[in-house]
Every structure is written in structure tokens, then in C-alpha cells.
């Protein structure tokens, strides 16, 4: 797994030295410990010259002239009374970015108004720093290529806080989240010649070391279960399909599990309905749903979440050889429903049809949330800022909306209605896999919904948020690992005992 920033926590030393990071509020006001260290005149002069006003997420980087401190980084927090939970995550990312790779710094965690920064906020700061420090550079041979994400080791930060012991415990919890996000990012960033279905399973099997129970279904086992929808997608590839089941049993034995299902198309050419060449290289990320589920299971196990959770990922490659599925084919899903193939590039929903049916039938979960880079239509509708959410259950949808606001991995509820569902009625089979161009993300969701019997269900279309993702204070990677923090927060807030 890619290396992240090293974080340690200590009480403030008597004398500050080396590279020091401090926080400044509106008007470039700094906290009492920073003032006592003689930093106020330095900050005031530099702020006046460089027009630094302490605006949130702004930075000031300067040599100090103060004995022992050779570099001072001032991070603006704006008005301290207006800070939200998510802001501490962002501030940590800003600080790590300002410190830079290969550097070490001490961070004086104090507010300019003198009020205490809670251990939880300090831990969020640490998480933001670790996420910002992520870089996928394993294939770069020029290790000084820092401008393009390669080069030096991640930064090392020492957080100075008066309640160091409590902060350490909170940081340990956040470390599990950081590692889950980093795993998801790594999986999506890997080139497709390296990460096929079998290799993806090998990465998953590494989670056994932290207590995740893993089971793998081969093509023969899927064929015996009647999963012709999923297997039809894979039949044009020389790489065999797999379903991987991950189980974390942290709750009571009598508790129903919560379930997460991921689309894992390790590379998507579109099949016979082949995609345009331009941008096709990005289709290595068409397994971002499966990556998010895998990263989530890594996080739940890593922090020993008090919940029973199941992660199921369907892993296939969609290729156009002589054995590939054709438009016009009719296949039968695990549920017995027949599917007319209209477009072989509408393949992810076929994978999910069998995967969600298998998950509901076998595990009888409290709910199913599936994640998929399902449609370009959701990017047209929502851009790269929010994921599309489709749900059969208002309570579950409300929980995800709240978790999205808390983590910054925001969702927007999209409609489900009979008028859209009828667009995927087939002349020759029970359902067709494409309703055409109009309302494409909605009809895709309706297709998956037809294979869910009665369990509360949410479909998250993450095509805009999981890959080619926005560059933010906590992410400088092509792959964001989107969904790990969102779903971990949902579980932590509403489903742990």
C-alpha cells in the first residue's frame, strides 16, 4: 500500500524548533503558545507585506529569524467560531501540502481564540494530513519527479496538543480510515495489465491478516448458482471472473449484517459496443465501486468496528473477442429473470444484478448499498462534486445524506419512478439492460432495483467522484478512494451497537 504521512502526537515542548506549523485566525491572529514563542511580530510583519489575513485554508510560509525555528508555516482557519467538523480534515491536508514531501514539522494545535481543540478535531487534522500525503508513484523510475507525484517520502508531522494521550487514541481510529482510503486509491490507480480479477482477489486476501473472513467464488461456482448476467460480461476476456466475499464479524452473533456490494469491472472496453479510443485508458477505474467496498472492509476491521458487515465484489473484464456477448443476446440472472442485452457497454448493472441478488439471498442483511461507476450520465447531471444516490428506503437515504455532509463525500438523491422503470421493459425478455440515452443513470438504477427483493437498498453512482476526481485539500490523486469515509461514517453513526 502507498505510504502516507507519519503522524506522532506529543505535548508541546518547552522550546519550538525546526519547521513549525501554527494556526492563525481572521486578522492573522495567532494563539497564546505561538505568541509566547515570540512569533507574533514575525507573523504580523509578514502578513502585512504579503496581505495574509488568516482566511481559511490559506497559508504563509516564511523563515522566522526566531532562535531555533528555521521555517514557519502559518495556516489560516478564518473565524474560529465558524469552524465545522470537516474543516479540521481540510486544514490537516493544507498543512501537509505546505510542509511538503520529505520534510518534518511540528504542528502547534491551538486556536487563536485560546479555546481548546478537541482530540477528535486533532485526529481529523491528522487524517487530512495523511490523505493529502498519498501519492501513487510505484511505477516511476525517476524518483526525483516530485512535480508529477513521485519523489521523496511523505512528510512526518508531530502534533503538539495538551491532551496527547487522548489524541493518540483518536488518531489510531483515523489511521484505519486513512489506510482504507489509501487501499481503495491504490486499487483504482493500478494499471489494468497488473490488476485483473484474480490479482484483485489476491489483494483482498491480504485482509485476512486483520481478521476479515474471505471467500472466493470461481466461474464454475457462479455458473452453478445461475449467475449468467455477471458471467456474460466476462466471456469475452481471457481473464476469469471472480466474486469475492469479505466478512467482518465485530457485532453480536445474532445481529444481521450490513452489506455493501461493488462493481468491479477491472477494465471496460465496452465490449462489442466498443467505446471511443479517446480516454479509454481511464476505464481501468471502472472497478472503483469494488475498490471502495474493499477499502471500507479494511477500515472496519482496522478500527474493530462493533458491527457485522459483508462486502461483496463482482470482478470481471469486459473485452470484445470472438466469444464476447453480443447486443441482442438474452441471458438469465441468478433470480431467474431474463435480460435482453441492448448495449454491451451497459455491463456494470449486469454484474450488480447477480451480486446484489446473491448478497440478499445468502446474508439477509439489514440493507444493501451498492457502489458503481455506472454511467457517464451521472457526471452530466452532477459533475465531479456529488455522487448520485438512488434508494428504496427514506431512512437509509437520510443516513447517507447526513454522513455525506459530515465527511464531504456528498450525495444527491435522484428519482425513482414507474415512468422510468417502464423504459427498460423488453420486447423479448423480462428486462433490457439499457433504456437509451435519456435518463441513463435513472434507468440504470431501476435495472439494479429489479434484482432486489425486499431489503432496504441504495445504489450510489460514483462515476464522477471516484476517478478523475477533483483535486482537493485532502486528495491529489487521480483516484479519490471515494465512498470509504462516507460508508464508515454511516456505520459508525447508525449501525454500530
Q: Output the domain CATH number for residue 106.
A: 3.40.220.10
Among 317, 308, 176, CA closest to 237? 317
Domain at 419, CATH number? 3.40.630.10
E-state strands within 351-463: 368-372, 387-391, 411-413, 431-432, 457-461
As given in the structure block, the three cell numbers for residue 210 are: 486483520
Question: What are the backbone angles phi and psi of residue 461, rounded to the nearest 5°?
Answer: -90, 110
Q: Does residue 171 lie in a domain region?
A: no
Please check whether residues 263 and 412 belong to one and the same domain: yes
Question: Domain for residue 168, yes or no?
Answer: no
- Examine the domain organization and report whether 146 and 204 are in the same domain: no
**Long-range pairs of 66-71 with CB within 8 A, sequence gap ≥ 24:** 66/37, 66/38, 66/39, 66/42, 68/15, 68/16, 68/17, 68/18, 69/16, 69/17, 69/18, 69/19, 69/20, 69/37, 69/39, 70/18, 70/19, 71/18, 71/19, 71/20, 71/105
Q: Would residue 175 count as lying in a domain?
A: no
Q: In whole angstroms, give the CA distance from residue 334 to residue 451.
A: 9
- Residue ranges making up the domain that contains 11: 7-162
Q: Is 172 within the bounds of a domain?
A: no
Same domain for 325 and 427, yes or no, is yes
How many domains are there within the chain? 2
Instruction: Determine the Cα–Cα distance for residues 421 and 415; give it in Å rounded to an integer.
Output: 11
Q: Which of 162, 197, 215 lies at the terminal end of a domain, its last residue?
A: 162
- The answer to the question of residue 421 being in a domain is yes
Task: Tell me the pTM.
Answer: 0.97
Residues 32 and 138 in one domain: yes
**Per-position DSSP letters for 437-458, written without gaps between them:** STTHHHHHHHHHHTT--SS-EE
Last residue in a domain, options 162, 177, 196? 162
Residues 213 and 150 in one domain: no
Whether residue 401 is contained in a domain is answered as: yes
Q: Which residue do the cell numbers 498543512 mark?
A: 95
Do 221 and 158 have their domain in common? Answer: no
Judged by DSSP in three states, 329 sits in: coil
Rounded-to-integer distance, Cα 256 and Cα 363, Å: 8
Residues 151 and 269 in one domain: no
In a structure prediction context, what are the per-residue pLDDT tens digits for the chain, which is 497 residues long?
A: 889 999 999 999 999 999 999 999 999 999 999 999 999 999 999 999 999 999 999 999 999 889 999 999 999 999 999 999 999 999 999 999 999 999 999 999 999 999 999 999 999 999 999 999 999 999 998 765 554 445 689 999 999 999 999 999 999 999 999 999 999 999 999 999 999 999 999 999 999 999 999 999 999 999 999 999 999 999 999 999 999 999 999 999 999 999 999 999 999 999 999 999 999 999 999 999 999 999 999 999 999 999 999 999 999 999 999 999 999 999 999 999 999 999 999 999 999 999 999 999 999 999 999 999 999 999 999 999 999 999 999 999 999 999 999 999 999 999 999 999 999 999 999 999 999 999 999 999 999 999 999 999 999 999 999 999 889 999 999 999 999 999 999 999 999 98
- Is residue 83 domain-shared with residue 144, that is, in the same domain? yes
236 and 156 both lie in a single domain: no
- Are 209 and 312 in the same domain? yes
Q: Which residues are catalytic?
A: 275, 349
Helices then strands, each counted (H, E), the chain? 15, 17
Quick one: 246 and 102 in the same domain?
A: no
| Interstrand relation of 330-332 and 338-340 (parallel, antiparallel or unpaired) | antiparallel
Q: Is residue 178 part of a domain?
A: no
Residues 306 and 453 in one domain: yes
Residue 15 forms part of a structural domain = yes
Amino acid at each position: 500500500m502507498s505510504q502516507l504521512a507519519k503522524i506522532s502526537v506529543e505535548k508541546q515542548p518547552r522550546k519550538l524548533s525546526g519547521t513549525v506549523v501554527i494556526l492563525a485566525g481572521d486578522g492573522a491572529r495567532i494563539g497564546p503558545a505561538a505568541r509566547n514563542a515570540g512569533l507574533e511580530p514575525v507573523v504580523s510583519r509578514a502578513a502585512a507585506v504579503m496581505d495574509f489575513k488568516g482566511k481559511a485554508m490559506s497559508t504563509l510560509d516564511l523563515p522566522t529569524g526566531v532562535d531555533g525555528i528555521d521555517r514557519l508555516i502559518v495556516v489560516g482557519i478564518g473565524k474560529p467560531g465558524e469552524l465545522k467538523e470537516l474543516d479540521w480534515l481540510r486544514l490537516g491536508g493544507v498543512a501537509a501540502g505546505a510542509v511538503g514531501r520529505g520534510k518534518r514539522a511540528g504542528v502547534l494545535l491551538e486556536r487563536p481564540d485560546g479555546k481548546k481543540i478537541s482530540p477528535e478535531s486533532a485526529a481529523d487534522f491528522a487524517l487530512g494530513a495523511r490523505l493529502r500525503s498519498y501519492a501513487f508513484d510505484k511505477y516511476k523510475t525517476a524518483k526525483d519527479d516530485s512535480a508529477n507525484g513521485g519523489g521523496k517520502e511523505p512528510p512526518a508531522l508531530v502534533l503538539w496538543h495538551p491532551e496527547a494521550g487522548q489524541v493518540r487514541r483518536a488518531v489510531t481510529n483515523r489511521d484505519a480510515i486513512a489506510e482504507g482510503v489509501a487501499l481503495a486509491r491504490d486499487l483504482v490507480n493500478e494499471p489494468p495489465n497488473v490488476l485483473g480479477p484474480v490479482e484483485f482477489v489476491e489483494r483482498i486476501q491480504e485482509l485476512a491478516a486483520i481478521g476479515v473472513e474471505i471467500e472466493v467464488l470461481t466461474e464454475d461456482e457462479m455458473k452453478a448458482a445461475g449467475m449468467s448476467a455477471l458471467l456474460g460480461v466476462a466471456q469475452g476476456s481471457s481473464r476469469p471472473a471472480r466474486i469475492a466475499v469479505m466478512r467482518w464479524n465485530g457485532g453480536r452473533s445474532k445481529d444481521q449484517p450490513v452489506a455493501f456490494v461493488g462493481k468491479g469491472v477491472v477494465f471496460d472496453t465496452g465490449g462489442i459496443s466498443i467505446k471511443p479510443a479517446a480516454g479509454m485508458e481511464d476505464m481501468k477505474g471502472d472497478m472503483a465501486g469494488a475498490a471502495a467496498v474493499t477499502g471500507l472492509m479494511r477500515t472496519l476491521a482496522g478500527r474493530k468496528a462493533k458491527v457485522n458487515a459483508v462486502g461483496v465484489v463482482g470482478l470481471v473484464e469486459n473485452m470484445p473477442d470472438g466469444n464476447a456477448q453480443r447486443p441482442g443476446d438474452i441471458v438469465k440472472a441468478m433470480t431467474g429473470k431474463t435480460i435482453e442485452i441492448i448495449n454491451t457497454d451497459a455491463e456494470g448493472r449486469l454484474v450488480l444484478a447477480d451480486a446484489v441478488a446473491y448478497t440478499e439471498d445468502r446474508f439477509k442483511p439489514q440493507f444493501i448499498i451498492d457502489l458503481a461507476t455506472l454511467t457517464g450520465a451521472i457526471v452530466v447531471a452532477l459533475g465531479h462534486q456529488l455522487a448520485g444516490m438512488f434508494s428504496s428506503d427514506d431512512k437509509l437515504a437520510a443516513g447517507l445524506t447526513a454522513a455525506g455532509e459530515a465527511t464531504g463525500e456528498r450525495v444527491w438523491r435522484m428519482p425513482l419512478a414507474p415512468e422510468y422503470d417502464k423504459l427498460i421493459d423488453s420486447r423479448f425478455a423480462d428486462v433490457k439492460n439499457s433504456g437509451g440515452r435519456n435518463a441513463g443513470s435513472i434507468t440504470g438504477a431501476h435495472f439494479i432495483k429489479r434484482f432486489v427483493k425486499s431489503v432496504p437498498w441504495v445504489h450510489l453512482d460514483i462515476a464522477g467522484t471516484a476517478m478523475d476526481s477533483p483535486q482537493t485539500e485532502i486528495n491529489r490523486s487521480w483516484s479519490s478512494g471515494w465512498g470509504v469515509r462516507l460508508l464508515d461514517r454511516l456505520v459508525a453513526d447508525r449501525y454500530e451497537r
